[in-house]
Every structure is written in structure tokens, then in C-alpha cells.
Structure 1
Amino acid sequence: MSRQDPSNAGTNWSIGAALGAALGASACCTVPLALVSLGVGGAWIGSLTALAPYRWFFVAGAVGALGYAGYNEWRLSRQPDCDCETVFSSGPRRTLLSVGALAVVALVVSPWLVAPSPTAATQTARTAAMKATPPAAETSSSTPASYRQVVLRVDGMTCKTCPITVRKALEEVRGVYGAEATLEPPQAVVRFDPGKTSVEALTAATKTVGFPSQLNTDS
């Protein structure tokens, strides 16, 4: 009579747990950016940033579960064949383990992969802080002479990918000709046509993707 091999089931469940933990590790950073890039919005996205303080717990959980899956597979490879019911045979199971491991690693390191380089981030921060005026060529070709530039204080940004999410949301607003967002300081510099949009529309756009903002009157 065949029986279910608990070791095989443990491998399958641990891979699933590793993927779940890795998704949690990226929920505060990469997931909101991916959703905004796909056109999905909503203030609920901002609640994902609440997971930021627990990111490394998720990372530890993903690594632990993946390690257990690898150890379990190693144990199975050393056992003699038995008349067991298995969800996957050894070949597909090892393929699943390899694909799962790659997916876990990709999710865990995704914030560093999609974030701008330190040099680019520093330059952007300097530009935003100085509220640099666009070059004449840019003003004549893509920005109207009557453009307005404002600085928004943005709340809720916790990682390097958050400014990218804010920038993408602002660039989707009709009438915006340029947007730059930085984590330090947590703000966005926006150039727009006041005849087509308004500060209220800009702050509504950042709030829709989970990052409330307001006009920085100190600038």
C-alpha cells in the first residue's frame, strides 16, 4: 500500500513559505512600484509600507524556509526509493526548488535592483533641493514658458524605490512636464502647466498610490 511521503510534502510547503516570505520582504518596496507601473492605484498601497520595519524578518524567514527545502531535498536524495505517493517526482521537484530559489532571491534583492545608483540619487537630491530651472532647450521644446514649479512634501516613503513610485504617479498627471522625487529629503519637485492641472491634482495623485503629500510653503 502506498503512503504519502511527509518529507516530500515538507519540501513543497517550505518552497511556498519561502516565496510568501520573500513577497512580504518586497511588499513595502517593489510591489507598490510594480502596481503603479501596471496602472493599479489606491490609498491601500500605502499600507504596504507599514511592513518596512519587518522587512528583515521576512528575509530571514524566506532564507530559513528555502534552506529547509534544500536540506529536505538533500535528505530525500539519500533515501532509497519507496512506494510513496509524491506530488512531484525528484526531477520536477528539484526544478521547482531551483525556480523557487531564483524567485526568492529576485524578490529579496529587487529593491536594490530597481533603485537608482547612489550617484544618481545624490544628483537627483541636489537638483530637487536646489529646484533647478530647466535648461533653455527643455523649456522651449517640452515645457511651456508659463510652466509652474512646486515642491511637495511627501509622507510615507521608507525605501529607495518609493520615490520612483511617487515620480511615476506624478508623471501620469495630464499637464505635468517633469517630476523628480527623493527619499532624503522626502519631497517631489514638479513642473507642470497650471492651465491643465493644479497642485490639488498633484497631491491627489501621490495620495492615490499611498503617499500623501502637501505643498511645501517653506521653499
Structure 2
Amino acid sequence: MTRLATALIFAGALVAAPEAFAAERTTTFAIDNMTCASCPYIVKSSMAAVPGVAKVGVSFETKTATVIFDDAKTTAEAIAAAGTDAGYPAHVRQQGG
């Protein structure tokens, strides 16, 4: 009986907490307007400021940003908007799990 009660409590907690189903996502963005060595720093800072973003890597050479984020807290669209708002339009290039 104790195991059944524990299982029911655990199942109820999962249903009540959608964060339990959150997943870490990795998305690569194509970044426009990166023309100098300081551009990647601005892109990285603006995207990293989005709540839910765990890590941002920016490549000046390939004009891309790869972002790891919690999909329960933010979306790829919100991250792209942060880059765009900073003057560097971002477009989803590749989404991963």
C-alpha cells in the first residue's frame, strides 16, 4: 500500500509540474550584420540575457550562434529576437534536441 501511495503522489507531482517535462534544446542561428571582432560579444551577451539560456557560443567565421536553452523558460524565437533587437538579425538554422 505504501508503494502505491508513493507512486500516486509522484505521478500527481509530475502532472502538476510542467517544468518536469522541460527539455534542454540546442539551436544554431544564422546571424546577419556581424562585420567586426566585437560583434560576436554583443550577440553572445544579448542572447545570454534571455531567461532560460544556459550557454551561447558565437562564431565570427561562420556567422552563427549556437545556443543551449531550457524550452520551458524560453523559445528559439525569443532568442532570435534578442539578437535582432541588438542589431544582429538571427534566423534559426538548425534545431536539435
Shared fold, TM over 0.5: yes
Gaps of 5+ in 2: 1-21
Match of 1:215 among 58, 82, 92: 92
* 1:182 Cα deviation after fit: 1.2
- Which residue does the alignment assign to 1:167? 44
State whether residues 53 and 69 of structure 2, in contact with CA within 8 Å, keep that contact through their aligned partners in structure 1.
Answer: yes
Identity of aligned residues (%): 33
Larger strand percent: 2
Matches within 5 A, 1:49-68: none
Q: Which amino acid in the other structure matches residue 80 of structure 2? A: T
How does 1:18-167 map onto structure 2 within 5 Å? 146-167=23-44
Superposed CA RMSD: 1.7
Cα pair distance change 1:203/1:218, threshold 3 Å: closer
Structure in which a larger fraction of residues adopt helix: 1
For 2:64, which of 187, 211, 218 is the aligned residue? 187
Alpha-carbon distance, 1:164 to partner:
0.5
Output the TM-score relative to the length of structure 1: 0.33
Moved over 4 A (4+): none
> How many residue pairs get matched?
75
Give unmatched runs, 5+ long, in structure 1. 1-144
Separation of aligned partners in 1, 2:40 and 2:52: 20
- Which is higher, the Rg of structure 1 or of structure 2? 1
CA distance in 1, matches of 2:84, 2:35: 15
Q: Secondary structure of 1:207's partner?
A: helix
2:55 matched to 1:178?
yes
